[in-house]
Structure 1
Amino acid sequence: MPAIPESSRPRVSATPQTVLAWLRKNLFNTWFNSALTIVCLWIVVQVAAGVLRWITTQAQWSVVFANFRLFFVGRYPIEQVWRIWGVLAITLALIAVWIVRLKVRAPLKERMNTIAYALLPIGVAACVWLIGGGLGLPAVSTTLWGGLLLTLLVAIVSIALAFPFGVLLAIGRQSTLPAVRWLSAIYIELVRGLPLIGILFIAQVMLPLVLPGQLRLDRLVRAIAGLVLFNAAYIAENIRGGLQAIPQGQTEAAKALGLNVPQTLLLVVLPQALRAVTPAIVGQFISLFKDTSLLALFALVELTGIARSILAQPNFLGRYAEVYLFIGLIYWLFCYTMSLLSRRLERV
């Protein structure tokens, strides 16, 4: 008798009987497991009750409400904060366009692709203009950028630059040219053997020494350069794993269709490789986002740096738990959102 396909089998809903059966089988199958389950549940309830009691009755959340603007935009001039709202509106509009692009079907899909790719550089340029100023808007020095604004800016720019650099390094390490392959391998292994804090110190201290005297890089630009150089090496290794997972038959089929080497790489191999390692790449992006907290060591008042400056105020001394719990929640929200987007990309 042929086997019934998995998709056509009836699904059994989780009834109370099945839940109780699972509990008896996994948590209360012996007296020792039963006692251990009860003890663990008691500990969890006590800890949760203590945390909830502290949050609702003991924590002084005034430190968060009084410094709300500092957490999000740092010392950005208050009369120019409307520009940040403009950046947020442009960003949401771009996200909406790209979501619509994923959902529409042919023949509108090609038109939406054209619109999405055309609006992306325009939107990025408009955001940079609004944040930094110029061309009719008063300039705002990067020393005044801070809080979540600086964290997101550094993370987005670093991701946008590190990803294509990592792709090039991965392709270079797979190259048949010995010079390209060895240079890529040396760079990747050298950077992966150094801690990120060391790379950031090199970018902040040594990078100005090797540049011409008349060329002065902003401290923020040097920080982004350090993050890009570090994360590109790890992204390259993730992508190289995806390239090695593609069967050789894919390349041979592309050659049989008359595609040359660049076309085979860009149209056949690389899309499949990136899809296979999407979780690893997004995981590296999440790590990069959290690594921006190290910039506080270089007097860049991103989210963690602004928290330290708030805690230095006489009115809020000792309010470490409230402040760091709040910024921890912000970090978690953005990292979890990136994780959800990763799952969405895997299903596209």
Structure 2
Amino acid sequence: MNEVSFVRTEMLEQEAPPASTVGVIGWLRANLFSNALNSVLTIIALFSVFSLLYGFLPWAYSPTWAAASLSECRDILHSLGREGHFSGACWGVVRDRWVQLLFGFYPSEHYWRPVLAFFLTFAALAPVLFAEKTPAKMIWVSVLYPFVMPWLLWGGTVWTPVVALLGFVVGIYVYRTVTAAMGSLFGLIAAVVAAAIWWLFIASSVSSGLAGILELAMEPVSSRQFGGLMLSLTIGIVAIGFSLPLGIVLALGRQSDLLIVKALCVGFIEFIRGVPLITLLFVASTLLNIFMPPGTNFDIIMRVIIMATLFSSAYMAEVIRGGLAALPKGQYEGGDSLGLNYWQAQRLIIMPQALKISIPGIVSNFIGLFKDTTLVSVIGLLDPLGLSTAIRANAEWNGVVWELYGFIALLFFVFCFSMARYSMYLERKLQTGHK
């Protein structure tokens, strides 16, 4: 008996996927109700969120924005039939003190200076964070920003940042001159010594002389008038900006073959990591002046910035060292096979890969450092938390707690969340492996 095989002569029509696998229902099944355990956890989480919002939203929706004191808030809530301590938020304190929470006691007629410095921060970061999307000439904003920002915030003569910038020019000139004659190591040492001599012994006289010829200055603002979010941003931005390069140097020094260099870097890292930041801040506020020459007036914010930078750089060094350790030995051998010297191999091959691997740890360290700026309240500097204590000590707002802390938490969340999102963007951008 002959069997005839059936051969289809036309293609079947494409059918729509099952309704339970696409759209909202498909997403819910795949992500929230994929099995019995996930379904139970989803229901518990939804119930918890609902319970939280059920109590929070009525409290947050409170028509007390125009109140001028806590007693007025209570009168407004009482007129609406809402009784009890947690019957409604008193948002009048935010309306009344939000400027102080942002600027501290900075003179109101000069608010434009920290605002301008804040926006210049984004202009200076753009060539670094989004190099391919910004004009090449924007890099000059990044170069000049470290000198313009202090002048905007503290004021004084414009010749101070100009002369400070000239110190780097002197260092670069000495480096090139000595390197051409004696090599890069001697050139680097000579450049550091020349720049230090300029800043310590020459810069002040040159700045005073130029100010006597042409006085270009803004009204000085003392560090004790700094406060609020502006103080946290100032300390955080400067400490973050300096801790990364210092951490790279410490990480490389810890892996150095030179015994003295390695011992110094290891000793510094382990000592700083073994001491709480609050202890270093107390040292900065009380003990540091003891080791300075008599009559030296070392700015308190500058002392805090130095200690915060040193503290963060020690942790940054370990994060970067982890990235360096993750690289296979072949990367180092590849640099040697190409005839690159140590610094060329680090700049072109090793460090870009190590930093890419270390991005989550680096950004996490940045976020932690920015949040740790609130510790300056223990040494008398009025950051947002320090100001909240002073505001609650006022008779008009004595008893207001959650509204102030909630507003401060929102401010910090905006900046920390932004840094975290940029970290994720940078990881996706630099992804070279399999997804």
Q: Which residue of 1 aligns with 2:206?
A: none
Question: Does residue 84 of structure 1 match 2:114?
Answer: yes
Where 1:90 maps in the other structure, the secondary structure is helix
**Offset at 1:182?**
1.6
Compute the TM-score of the two structures, normalised by the length of structure 2.
Answer: 0.70
Q: Any conservation in 2 of the 1:101–1:116 contact (CA below 8 Å)?
A: no
Q: Which stretch shifts more, 115-124 or 223-232?
A: 115-124
Q: Which stretch shifts more, 58-67 or 158-167?
A: 158-167
CA distance in structure 1 between the aligned counterparts of 2:33 and 2:114, rounded to whole angstroms = 55
**Which of residues 316, 327, 342 is equivalent to 1:235?**
316
Question: Does residue 167 of structure 1 match 2:172?
Answer: no
82 and 45 in structure 1: CA distance in 2 versus 1, 3 angstrom threshold: same
CA distance in structure 2 between the aligned counterparts of 1:218 and 1:255, rounded to whole angstroms = 47
CA distance in structure 2 between the aligned counterparts of 1:96 and 1:162, rounded to whole angstroms = 19
Question: Does residue 26 of structure 1 match 2:35?
Answer: yes
**Offset at 1:167?**
1.1
Tell me which structure has the larger Cα radius of gyration: 2
**Offset at 1:200?**
1.5
**Offset at 1:72?**
0.8
Q: Which stretch shifts more, 12-21 or 271-280?
A: 12-21
Question: Does residue 124 of structure 1 match 2:134?
Answer: no
CA distance in structure 1 between the aligned counterparts of 2:231 and 2:391, rounded to whole angstroms = 16
**Which ranges of structure 1 fall in alignment gaps of 5 or more residues?**
1-10, 105-111
Structure ranking higher on relative contact order (CA contacts 8 Å, 6+ apart): 1
| Percent sequence identity over aligned pairs | 37
Question: Does residue 186 of structure 1 match 2:208?
Answer: no
**Which of residues 90, 94, 103 is equivalent to 2:133?**
103
**Which of residues 336, 353, 371 is equivalent to 1:255?**
336
Correspondences of 1:199-238 after superposition (within 5 Å): 199-238=280-319
285 and 37 in structure 1: CA distance in 2 versus 1, 3 angstrom threshold: closer
**Offset at 1:333?**
0.7
Q: Which residue of 2 aligns with 1:150?
A: 231
Q: Which residue of 1 aligns with 2:197?
A: none
**Which of residues 41, 56, 63 is equivalent to 2:61?**
56
CA distance in structure 2 between the aligned counterparts of 1:118 and 1:167, rounded to whole angstroms = 23
91 and 189 in structure 1: CA distance in 2 versus 1, 3 angstrom threshold: closer
Where 2:219 maps in the other structure, the secondary structure is coil
306 and 120 in structure 1: CA distance in 2 versus 1, 3 angstrom threshold: same
Q: Which residue of 2 aligns with 1:107?
A: none
Q: Which residue of 1 aligns with 2:422?
A: 341
176 and 59 in structure 1: CA distance in 2 versus 1, 3 angstrom threshold: same
CA distance in structure 1 between the aligned counterparts of 2:139 and 2:126, rounded to whole angstroms = 13
322 and 217 in structure 1: CA distance in 2 versus 1, 3 angstrom threshold: same
Cα RMSD over matched residues? 2.3
Correspondences of 1:277-316 after superposition (within 5 Å): 277-316=358-397
CA deviations over 1:78-125 (Å, ceiling 9, x no partner)? 111122232234234334555663236xxxxxxx44x23322132332
Q: Which stretch shifts more, 331-340 or 188-197?
A: 188-197
One-letter identity of the residue aligned with 2:251: A
**Offset at 1:280?**
0.1
CA distance in structure 2 between the aligned counterparts of 1:16 and 1:132, rounded to whole angstroms = 55
**Offset at 1:43?**
3.7
One-letter identity of the residue aligned with 1:18: G
Compute the TM-score of the two structures, normalised by the length of structure 1.
Answer: 0.87
Question: Does residue 15 of structure 1 match 2:37?
Answer: no
**Offset at 1:37?**
5.7
Q: Which residue of 2 aligns with 1:6?
A: none
145 and 44 in structure 1: CA distance in 2 versus 1, 3 angstrom threshold: same
Q: Which residue of 1 aligns with 2:81?
A: none
One-letter identity of the residue aligned with 2:101: F
**Which of residues 40, 44, 47 is equivalent to 1:42?**
47
CA distance in structure 2 between the aligned counterparts of 1:24 and 1:43, rounded to whole angstroms = 17
Q: Which stretch shifts more, 76-85 or 206-215?
A: 206-215
**Which ranges of structure 2 fall in alignment gaps of 5 or more residues?**
1-16, 63-87, 158-216, 431-435
**Offset at 1:338?**
0.6
Q: Any conservation in 1 of the 2:33–2:42 contact (CA below 8 Å)?
A: no
CA deviations over 1:250-291 (Å, ceiling 9, x no partner)? 121112212111111122111111111011011000000000
Structure ranking higher in helix proportion:
1
